[in-house]
Structure 1
């Protein structure tokens, strides 16, 4: 009883929407409790402020350079622009809200804002990861089949960009319609997919998200760059032997 009263009194400092299920110890099907002190929230706010500002300035600079200098508008750089745009959207649509929440020690924009925050950040994060996988595959295919590579093939790269957003939407929209859900996480100043609920509905989504949005793109990246490293190792000994032969032949 004492623990319950303490939890409820601590919850009074937070948004009422977040505390609706405090008496039962659940929020949207998952356990929830505040774990940060005011000092902890301040430290998080400072870190988020730095990360958000640096990310905003850095990605804006990349986009400005891409738009200003025509020589940078190559197909491969389109993928880099896609990553910069997704990161920039996180800095604009996500970080300011978590920063403000951390300064106040509570979520500030209600349940709808929490769902939007979780969806937008998940969408952009998966887009960045899938874009990195597409980038690694493009480098791999260019290296392994140079005769078929076409540096002006914007259609192939544009298709990869569209697929990265479509694939991300495929896995971030389901929580909006009942397959798991978006809600508060950690100290209650950020929102994401509910990682803690033990229902079959939630666990099945988490497993699929982990496999198809982390393991699969990660394995693609490892495979492609692993093949590239292997190919480079096969080339270097030949180049070294050729240089020794040239030096010996030239009498040096």
Structure 2
């Protein structure tokens, strides 16, 4: 995603003595500001690593959560965990010491990694929204058991992100220190045609385009959900789809709350008057952006019933959950919905056969098939 924009010019970035910046808070942030930033980054690093590792542990331990849509959620969690491992510790150490510690090459590595993992998360969220669009608006045409499409989305998000984060390493723009001198990002402030062209393309294809996909997908979904809410009887399958949709929308809202200020500050520094934003103001969106690594896994655990039940099982040291409804996924929801024809009364008739035109043996066969799709994969 878009990193916070630096306030230094190109020559200053190239000639800056990184070693001299250590212990000199006046060059960027004040000592008090550095302490506050260090505390925030330390909390984000510890909590983000813990929560995202817990999500990975749930995926490894419980097969029931390994559905196609959850695989995309796992991709987001992996990218967040990598930020906590390869990004946050270096900015935390720089904030504690008062300056960047690992040199110019380390600065480039930091800027590249944070941009790569951030774009992967945003692209994955846009793909997730489009998957929900297919599942809700094109209900009968989507095969939720198709893991091939999920893997295409995952690989595609990384390839797409690499295509936009590798060019600065080879001359199309560059990575350098930010004005706080404790973090590194793309050098957005340069007004050269080379740098401006990269900034415009990155903004359009890595921020605006994914947001347009989300707006289109969820705008259409809201319309169909409003129409369905007018019905008196909603099947269990539909209720689960609505709950999952609400969870994904909360993820997108929180993610944009964390990352949109980051992008806006970058654009202001790029096209606005030099010196408009102080280092203290610039570092706030950076911290908000990193806090998304903590917020996302919390949404997975407490808003996704599957993850929440697995989380409780881990706390109770259980190897598996015992709720028969636990493994109910989107594919089973659609099959059950087709068998029920959207009617609760039809399910009751199947569960309790009566002596009418259909033989009891045939009714019992239908009932057994429905139970199979609810309880087992």
**TM-score, structure 1 as length reference:** 0.82
Q: Does 1:228 align with 2:214?
A: no
Alpha-carbon distance, 1:25 to partner: 7.1
**What residue is the counterpart of 1:150 in the other structure?**
143
Q: Does 1:89 align with 2:75?
A: no
Q: Does 1:137 align with 2:130?
A: yes
- The SS at the match of 2:184 is strand
Alpha-carbon distance, 1:122 to partner: 0.3
Residue of structure 1 aligned with 2:12, choices 26, 35, 42: 26
**What residue is the counterpart of 1:74 in the other structure?**
67
Alpha-carbon distance, 1:93 to partner: 0.2
| CA deviation profile, 1:64-92 (whole Å, cap 9, x unmatched) | 01110010111111000000000000000
* Separation (CA, whole Å) in 1 of partners of 2:135 and 2:27: 50
**What residue is the counterpart of 1:51 in the other structure?**
44
TM-aligned CA distance change 1:177 to 1:25, over 3 Å: closer
* Separation (CA, whole Å) in 1 of partners of 2:179 and 2:44: 18
> Could you list the runs of 4 or more consecutive aligned residues of structure 1 that deviate by over 4 angstroms after TM superposition?
none
**What residue is the counterpart of 2:294 in the other structure?**
none
Q: Does 1:100 align with 2:93?
A: yes
For 1:1-252, list aligned pairs within 5 A.
26-28=12-14, 34-239=27-232
- The SS at the match of 1:183 is strand
Alpha-carbon distance, 1:146 to partner: 1.4
Alpha-carbon distance, 1:210 to partner: 0.7
**What residue is the counterpart of 2:239 in the other structure?**
none
* Separation (CA, whole Å) in 1 of partners of 2:223 and 2:78: 32
What value does the CA root-mean-square deviation take over the aligned residues?
Answer: 2.1
* Separation (CA, whole Å) in 1 of partners of 2:146 and 2:174: 39
Q: Which runs of 5+ in 1 are unaligned?
A: 1-20, 241-252
* Separation (CA, whole Å) in 2 of partners of 1:165 and 1:239: 43
Higher relative contact order (CA 8 A, sep 6+): 2
| CA deviation profile, 1:89-141 (whole Å, cap 9, x unmatched) | 00000000000000011000001100000000000000000000000000101
| CA deviation profile, 1:148-204 (whole Å, cap 9, x unmatched) | 111210000100100000000000000001000000013110000001111111111
**TM-score, structure 2 as length reference:** 0.55
* Separation (CA, whole Å) in 1 of partners of 2:121 and 2:232: 36
Query: Is this contact kept in 2: 1:29–1:197, CA < 8 A?
Result: no
Query: Is this contact kept in 2: 1:114–1:191, CA < 8 A?
Result: yes
**What residue is the counterpart of 1:12 in the other structure?**
none
Query: Is this contact kept in 2: 1:180–1:201, CA < 8 A?
Result: yes
Alpha-carbon distance, 1:238 to partner: 4.1
Count of matched residue pairs: 218
Deviates more, 1:119-128 or 1:32-41: 32-41
* Separation (CA, whole Å) in 1 of partners of 2:154 and 2:112: 19
